[in-house]
Structure 1
Amino acid sequence: MPQIRLGEHTLSYQLHRVQRRSIGLVIRKEGLAVRAPAWVALSDIEAALRQKADWILQRLAEQERRNQTPHPAPITWQHGTVLPYLGDSLQLDVTGKGPRPELIEVLPETSQASPSLHLRLKAQDADHLRAAVHRWWKQAALRLFAERIALYAPRLALHALPQLHLTSARTRWGSASKRGALQTVRLNWRLLHLPIHLIDYVVVHELAHLHEMNHSPAFWRHVEAVLPDTSRRRAELKRHTVPEWGA
């Protein structure tokens, strides 16, 4: 396996000779993989790696954090199961009563009680429970994200609310795009598992991209004008990976 020195780091990487026109870099769980045409010299490949050294080292560090983050335990889909919800937990309460499947969120009556999710569902096997809870998660995410966008868009001097779409991406919490007057924000519904202050950070981050489609100093000024503790929230979010609960 070839190696290269990037700054203070000596990296091993996988080199794949493939039919393509340019050099491609991929950060995998196992490390750096390079895909390059057969005609490109090794010296040219190493020059490309040195040119992208900062990007490579940053992505490898992020991947290492993901590798060290324990994966959540698989959910046992049954009555009484504890579900992740807004950085805390939600207990699943299943009953067969009711003429049709129905999801009802029941908030705690006192600050000491834990919230529960009451699910009326005749078929109570794991597949039906999982599907029903995922529908509720996405419905709840859509409502909450729309509320947070409506709260923060005016603070970012956005005169019209962007279209909101949910995603199920495995590696990204959100994205934003502009096409003429059409502005769109896409948010991962699994954000619903995180605390509200991290959800707000992702919302503001993506809304700021509607001003600056980059991560320039001007972009960060937009974010920090709304969230002065941006650096703290950003660092905390990096400790989370996109979860795979119920996948």
Structure 2
Amino acid sequence: MSPFGRTFVDGDRIEIAGAVIRLKVHPRARRVSLRLDRSRREVVATAPSPRRLGEAAAFARDRIDWIAARLAELPQAEPLVPGVELSLMGRPVRLLHQAGRARWRPAEDGRSAEITAQGEGEGFARAAQRLLRKQALEGLTDLTRIHAEALGAPMPKVVLTDARSRWGSCKPPTGGQPAVIRYSWRLALAPLPVADYVAAHECAHLRELNHGPRFWALVETLVGDPAPHRAWLRTHGARLHAIGVDGAGQ
């Protein structure tokens, strides 16, 4: 039995001084350790085996000052509430409260695009995110089509996820089925040149399934120097994952 008076299993979450700690078993780990999962806004306590999860929980309890300092470095949560203005595919969109079915209103007559939805709290946020994802799929599909055509490659299927560890991935065609490119929908909240770079990166994999010199040459042909866009994602990517998160980190 652990010092917490219970037995833990892989994936358990505990709260220590207001911080959420996720317990994880990693068989290749050599010791108990802590790391900050910036996209999920939680700390992961890793143990080499299930029987040492209690030790990992205790280790987290003893390092609460370190945990508090790391969590304080995270970007402020930005919940999806009425009045919020976001950038979607490089253009502003406002979230507004209005009775009736959730709607997307394109920009017109000098007014920015709008998403209107009823309700409040989680209900409003779900409706707003659903429409944001729909527009993101259209925008990222358009970018993908442009780059696939430039490369003379067949148009892949485009799928959106809420991936935390990568902005895009490319699965090559198999069994007569087209290639599949998956994007984090939050990529559409980045500046348009950044989203365009990720689309070019994934489309380049339609020709080169590696990250060798020929691959990067294709990327540069499509969007120029990728370094500024990669740097933007390293610096600001955590903020994109904070959008749609309430103040409690949910």
What TM-score, normalized to structure 2? 0.64
User: What is the deviation of 1:129?
Assistant: 1.1
Q: Distance in 2 between matches of 1:108 and 1:176?
A: 35
Native 8 Å contact 1:104 1:119 kept in 2: yes
1:28 aligns with 2:35: yes
The percent identity for this pair of structures is: 27
Native 8 Å contact 1:72 1:244 kept in 2: yes
Matching residue of 2:107: 107
User: What is the deviation of 1:70?
Assistant: 4.4
Larger Rg: 1
SS at the partner of 1:241?
Answer: helix
171, 176, 181: which is aligned to 2:165?
171
Matching residue of 1:227: 223
136, 147, 150: which is aligned to 1:152?
147
Aligned residues: 191
Gaps of 5+ in 1: 1-17, 38-65
Q: Distance in 2 between matches of 1:76 and 1:236?
A: 23
Native 8 Å contact 2:89 2:136 kept in 1: no
1:119 aligns with 2:116: yes
Q: Distance in 1 between matches of 2:165 and 2:126?
A: 22
Superposed CA offset, 1:163-204 (max 9, x none) = 111010112111111142431100010111111111100001
Kindly tell me: are residues 86 and 24 of structure 1, through their superposed partners in 2, closer, same or farther at Cα, counting changes over 3 Å? farther
Q: Distance in 2 between matches of 1:192 and 1:69?
A: 24
What TM-score, normalized to structure 1? 0.65
Return the letter of the residue paired with 2:36.
Answer: K
Between 1 and 2, higher relative CO (CA 8 Å, sep ≥ 6) is seen in 2
SS at the partner of 1:239?
Answer: helix
Q: Distance in 2 between matches of 1:199 and 1:19?
A: 33
Q: Distance in 2 between matches of 1:139 and 1:218?
A: 33
1:246 aligns with 2:244: yes
Return the letter of the residue paired with 1:246.
Answer: G
Give the root-mean-square deviation of aligned CA atoms.
3.3
Gaps of 5+ in 2: 1-24, 38-42, 50-69, 246-250
User: What is the deviation of 1:226?
Assistant: 1.2
Matching residue of 1:93: 96
